[in-house]
């Protein structure tokens, strides 16, 4: 009988923070996750709206392990997400008309579904330093 490798069974959550940064949190699958007011049950004191939300991780029912404030949203990264990306390209042509030459702009749109978690390949020219910058 094989032993379970607990590391491969972990769950990774992607958190979007209020300042726009992203964080990954990896926890055992048995941990409880809650998302709600910083102070549950508080009726006042500024703990309302998205300002007063917290993401909590518990080991078991009572042993709180982490609290993250400033979390806008979160998800289990095993959930596959695709977002629609539209690329627009324009080209300008000169067309002769009875009134003279006119510029005509042709625009094309390409829509595709992209997984935001997949790495994007970086063009080689982006990685190359311009000549004369090496020391």
Band of pLDDT at residue 86, cut at 50, 70 and 90: very high
DSSP string for residues in 53-115: EEEEEEETTTEEEEEEESEEEEEETTS---EEEEEEEEEEEEEEETTEEEEEEEEEEEEEEE-
The per-residue pLDDT for 2 is: 38
Q: Which two tokens stand for residue 12?
A: 């990774």
Residue 66: which of 28, 92, 98, 101 has the closest Cα?
28
Query: From CA 89, how far away is CA 109, in angstroms rounded?
Result: 7
Q: Would you say 66 and 79 are in contact if contact means Cβ atoms under 8 Å apart?
A: no
Query: From CA 21, how far away is CA 89, in angstroms rounded?
Result: 30
Q: What DSSP character marks residue 51? A: G
> Has residue 89 got a pLDDT over 80?
yes
The per-residue pLDDT for 4 is: 42
Q: pLDDT (tens digit, 9 = 90+) per residue, 18-76?
A: 999 999 999 999 999 999 988 877 665 555 555 678 999 999 888 999 999 999 999 99
Query: From CA 68, how far away is CA 74, in angstroms rounded?
Result: 11
* Coil/strand/helix, residue 50: helix
Residue 10: which of 74, 71, 56, 77 has the closest Cα?
77
Q: What is the mean pLDDT of the chain?
A: 83
């Amino acid at each position: 009988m094989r032993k379970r490798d607990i590391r491969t069974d972990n769950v990774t959550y992607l958190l979007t923070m209020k300042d726009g940064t992203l964080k990954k949190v990896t926890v055992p699958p048995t941990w409880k996750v809650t998302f709600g007011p910083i102070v549950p049950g508080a009726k006042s004191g500024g703990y309302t709206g998205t300002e007063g939300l917290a993401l909590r991780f518990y080991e078991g029912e009572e042993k709180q392990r982490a609290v993250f404030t400033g979390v806008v949203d979160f998800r289990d990264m095993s959930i596959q997400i695709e977002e629609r990306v539209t690329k627009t390209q324009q080209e300008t042509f000169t067309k002769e008309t009875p009134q003279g030459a006119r510029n005509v702009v042709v625009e094309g749109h390409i829509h595709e579904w992209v997984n935001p978690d997949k790495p994007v390949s970086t063009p080689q020219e982006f990685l190359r330093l311009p000549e004369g910058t090496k020391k």
